[in-house]
Amino acid sequence: MTIAALSDLLTDAREHRYAVGYFEAWDVYSLEAVVAAAEAEQSPVIIGIGGLTANHAWLREQGIAVYGAVAAMLAERAKTPTAVMYNEADSLDEARSALGCGFNTVMMVGQGMTMERLIETTAALVAEAHAARVAVEGEFDELGEMRDGVLHDEEARLTDVDAAVEFVRRTNVDCLAVSVGSVHFVTGGYTPTLHTSRIRELADALTVPLVLHGGSGVPPEQLQAAVQAGISKVNVGTRLKQVFGEGLALGLQRASADPNLTYGSRLPGDAMTAAALALTQEIRRYMQTLGSSGKAANK
C-alpha cells in the first residue's frame, strides 16, 4: 500500500468523528508493533519517531535518516493506510532535515519563541514542506509537563480560538495541535481535565483538523469526549514505553538462559518479542477508544 497522506486520514476522521492515533516509536520493534496493531484493528494510523524527550543530536546525526527510511518502508508494506511523521523537531533546521527522508508529515515545536517568530518559522516550514509534498502539523500553545512526578504547567495556556484561527490563516498548516488541558509525560497519579467545550469552539472555528498531544495521561472516557468534541488526531508516547518496559521485564523473567533466544530472535519466548506483543495490545486498546478500529476501509 502506498503511504497515506495525512490530510486523507484526518479528513475522514473529522467527518466521521473518530481520531487517528500517532503512536510514537523509538526503534524497529515499536514501529512494527504500531503497524501490527493497525492491521489487527483494521485501523488507519500514523507511525513515526521524534519527540521532546529524544536525543536530538542523535536524531540529526542519523536517527532521522535511518528511521525515516525504515518507517517509510513499513508504511508501504502495511495493509492499512499509514502516514509517516517526524514529530516535534526542536528547530526549523531539524524539521527541514526530515524532508526527503521518508516522512510525509513533519512537526516543529516553538518552545521559547515569540508568537510572531513562531508564525514566521512555521510558515517557512510549510512552504518548504508542501513543495516536497510533506504535510505540516502546527503547534499553538505549549502543554504542561510531568517531570519526576511533578507537574510543570507555568507556560501552559488554554488555546485561544481567535488566535488559533489567525495562526492557521498565516501559516497554512495542515492540522493544529492545541492546548486544551492535556499534559505531556503523565505516568499515573495525575489525571488531567480536558476542556471539551474549548475543543468544540476550536473545531467549529478552524478549517483544519485538531490534534491532542499528551494522550498517555488522558483516561479513555475523556479521550472519547475529546474526539466527539472535534479532536481528529491523538498523540501517545509515554504510555507505550511504560508498557514496553513492563513487557520486557516480564519477558526477561520468563525467558530461557540462552541470550540468543532472549534478545532479537523473533521467536516465541523472546523477551523483546513479548514486549512488542504487549505494546501491540495496548495500541489496539487506544485504537478502539479513539474509534479508528475498522476505519481502514474508509480510505
Q: Per rule CB under 6 A, is residue 237 in the interface with ligand 13P? A: yes
Q: Which of residues 69-108 bind ligand 13P (CB under 6 A)?
A: 87-88
Q: Taking a C-beta distance cutoff of 8 angstroms, is the pair 41, 292 a contact? A: yes
Q: Specify the DSSP element, H or E, that contains 227.
A: helix 220-229
Q: Per rule CB under 6 A, is residue 44 in the interface with ligand 13P? A: no
DSSP one-letter string for 230-247: TEEEEEE-HHHHHHHHHH
Q: Per rule CB under 6 A, is residue 232 in the interface with ligand 13P? A: no
Three cell numbers, residue 128: 518548504
Contacts of 286 (CB under 8 A, 6+ apart): 21, 23, 215, 234, 236
Q: Which member of 97, 196, 216, 289 binds ligand 13P (CB under 6 A)? A: 216
Q: Per rule CB under 6 A, is residue 196 in the interface with ligand 13P? A: no
Q: CB of residue 148 vs ligand 13P: minimum separation in angstroms? A: 15
Q: Per rule CB under 6 A, is residue 181 in the interface with ligand 13P? A: no
Q: Taking a C-beta distance cutoff of 8 angstroms, is the pair 111, 149 a contact? A: no
Report CA 80 to chain centroid distance, whole Å.
Answer: 17
Nearer to ligand 13P, 192 or 270 (CB): 192
Q: Which member of 4, 23, 24, 144 binds ligand 13P (CB under 6 A)? A: 24
Q: Per rule CB under 6 A, is residue 51 in the interface with ligand 13P? A: yes
Nearer to ligand 13P, 147 or 268 (CB): 147
The residue behind cell 521518508 is 102
- Stretch of 75-83, 89-97, 194-202, 209-217 lying at the interface with ligand 13P (CB under 6 A): 209-217
- Stretch of 4-12, 63-71, 167-175, 212-220 lying at the interface with ligand 13P (CB under 6 A): 212-220
Q: How many Cβ atoms are within 10 Å of 78's Cβ, its own excluded?
A: 21
Tell me the three-class secondary structure of 119-160, residue by residue: HHHHHHHHHHHHHCCCEEEEEECCCEEEECCEEECCCCCCCC
Q: CB of residue 274 vs ligand 13P: minimum separation in angstroms? A: 22
Residues that bind ligand 13P (CB under 6 A): 24, 51, 87-88, 184-186, 213-217, 235-239
